[in-house]
Structure 1
Amino acid sequence: MSYTIGRLAKLTGLPVKTIRFYSDAGVLPERERTPAGYRIYGDEDRARLELIRTLREIGVDLATIRSLGDRRLRDVLDLHLKAVETQLKSLQRTRAVLRATLARDGDPAEEDLQRLHALGRVGAAEMELLLDEFVDEVGGDIEARHEWLTNLRDAMLPELPEEPTAAQLDAWLELAELLADEDHRESLRRQSRDFWSEERDFDAWHELNAQVMREALTAARAGVEPGSPESEPILDRILGLLGQSREEMLRVFDEHDPRAARLWELVAIIEDRPWPSEPTIAYGWIEATLRQLPGARS
């Protein structure tokens, strides 16, 4: 039987955009098109889509899925076992939401129902796909930026606990929304274009950033109040390292998209790690000092 991409989406429950992404990535080989150029799929594609979705749920990368034709039955069964274990984890997460909802008095609130609905739509596989798209779109055609985001990919993909709290579930769903936000992606591309287009020694840049972090963290942990007389020479040393004036550095903070920091905060909530992170503390101290010193613009 033949299906249009829209019909295949309804049968599998996968969005058209996702099926098109899998086709373009080569994990769902294209077999046929209509004279008008529309893709046509069959029962074999429908079955393969189910397999792809299962494999993505357990974290199998796209390159591995493309090479599935060479795998032994034992390997397939091993992957299937992992798929079952992933499904169990998903059920445990759903159980956690239901327990938290039913533990309250009265009928569930609208936010409880929304959480249950959204959790069913955003599993590990969907988050993997969102992150792949995020890296590709934000990385764009700048090779260095794309490589940097690829290296950060695993750190940006937290594992939702088997028994997540309501806060962790909400953070998981907000993270999915943030990764899918087209305005956020465009903002990151625009703000980072000049930095990544420049030829630079990245080893030296990392060392410079480490020095800046040490200066600011030492001040913050020592209790040096931003804007105090003691903070001014420290700020001047930091600006000297960066080769920027106060006005230039303030402009950087003014143009910075706070959603970038929110992404890492959500990851920390999901992984139950302390927040704020050291970079957030360091650059928060620098920004506060810049804004509170005499003569700084608000």
Structure 2
Amino acid sequence: MFTSKDGLCGIGELAEGAGVTVKTVRFYSDRGLLPEASRSTGGHRRYGPEALDRLRLIRSLRALGLGVPEVRRILDERHADGTPGAGSGAGGALEAAVAGRLREVGSELKALRWREAALRLVQESPPGEQADRLRLIGTVSVPPSTAPLVRFWRGWLPARMPAGAARAFLDAAVPQPPADPAPAQVLAFARLNALALGPCPGTGRPQPEAHRTAGAKGAAVLYTGLAEAYELAGAHLRRGRAPHAGEALDGFVAAYTSAYGVRDTPGFRRRLAGQLAADPRLDRYWELVAEVHTAPGGRPEPTPGVAHDWLLAALAAQTGAAPDQGTSPRQSKRRASPGLGV
């Protein structure tokens, strides 16, 4: 290709050798990605033999969707080290750029899958429900964000609760949007988002008795113990077992005794059953969480809310307390009950 006496070639020859347009070569040259070796007496660009390999590398990197700044860093590193990413290990410019682009593509794919499921939801909706579902879908970002759910729970958790305990609670209480959702899961997440963004009835958000009794530090102990109890109850729920006394219930009660600093006695269990039955609830929230997690034809996984109800029923049966003394779910859709089992 480089047939001239000076061993250089013009912009047209370089473009032809790399299979790109002259405009493309000029674009990369103007941005400093493809340095010129010299200019002819007529002011035309001249390129050295190394320009062809450099241009081909630029074209390959751009084909991967890498931006000009990333390409420049890779070329600079190549010039310094002799290869596209050598000398810097896993932290090299090429590796970092590829990893970043993979994250971007993953987010783009997630957004496309979510959009596809949302379109199918609208397409499959009965005419009378389309307007309402369009409104719900419109409140959810693409790809969907859990920020509204996190804000809802952070406003409900005890003030000055230790950060680690708060994070553990949020991990259990806030469902992640499915990467490849079905239309029903899109609808459930949109409804959950609307529930979290909606106004709270009454003045202020009701706090469970456990928050007032245990305080911020005690609440951290409470939630840690409840998480373990819910996991044990979940195993019984997966097997279809009815609420009963045992390790899961004992762990559930122990979470409260540890937080309150009291002994586990029959009297305490009776009082606890009454307190939990009377605390405000958020049944609809957990119903929607279950729908978000459940793919069509799949088996619903027990949510913390379902596990809490199972344990409360077991405690009520053991103590002879009525299990339904509290606020009805229909009247308390935006209210919260103690622990993870709201």
TM-score, normalising length: structure 2: 0.46
1:92 & 1:208 partners in 2: Cα distance? 35
The answer to whether the Cα contact below 8 Å between 2:290 and 2:301 also exists between their aligned partners in 1 is: yes
Deviations 1:181-230 (A, max 9, x none): 4538822477524323355893997299749967xx69x97768x9xxxx
Aligned length: 207
2:161 & 2:251 partners in 1: Cα distance? 33
- Aligned residue number for residue 149 of structure 1: 166
2:285 & 2:301 partners in 1: Cα distance? 14
- Superposed, which structure 2 residues align to 1:220-235 within 5 Å? none
1:169 to 1:254, Cα distance in 2 relative to 1, 3 A: same
- Aligned residue number for residue 287 of structure 1: 316
1:82 & 1:100 partners in 2: Cα distance? 27
The answer to whether the Cα contact below 8 Å between 1:135 and 1:153 also exists between their aligned partners in 2 is: yes
- Aligned residue number for residue 188 of structure 2: 171
Shift of 1:283: 1.9
1:117 & 1:200 partners in 2: Cα distance? 37
Deviations 1:32-75 (A, max 9, x none): xxxxxxxxxxxxxxxxxxxxxxxxxxxxxxxxxxxxxxx96555
Partner residue of 2:155 out of 137, 158, 171: 137
- Superposed, which structure 2 residues align to 1:5-24 within 5 Å? none
Higher helix share: 1
1:132 & 1:207 partners in 2: Cα distance? 19
Q: Which amino acid aligns with 2:275?
A: V
What SS does the aligned partner of 1:123 have?
coil
2:117 & 2:242 partners in 1: Cα distance? 41
1:81 to 1:136, Cα distance in 2 relative to 1, 3 A: same
| Structure 1 unmatched ranges of 5 or more | 1-70
The answer to whether the Cα contact below 8 Å between 1:97 and 1:116 also exists between their aligned partners in 2 is: no
Task: Determine which structure has more spread, i.e. the larger CA radius of gyration.
Answer: 2
2:310 & 2:139 partners in 1: Cα distance? 34
What SS does the aligned partner of 1:162 have?
coil
Shift of 1:84: 2.1
Q: Which amino acid aligns with 1:141?
A: A
- Superposed, which structure 2 residues align to 1:96-245 within 5 Å? 96-101=120-125, 108-109=127-128, 111-123=129-141, 127-139=145-157, 141-144=159-162, 146-155=163-172, 156-160=174-178, 162-166=180-184, 168-181=185-198, 183=200, 186-188=205-207, 192-197=211-216, 199=218, 202=221, 206=225, 210=229, 242-243=264-265, 244-245=267-268
The answer to whether the Cα contact below 8 Å between 1:171 and 1:266 also exists between their aligned partners in 2 is: yes
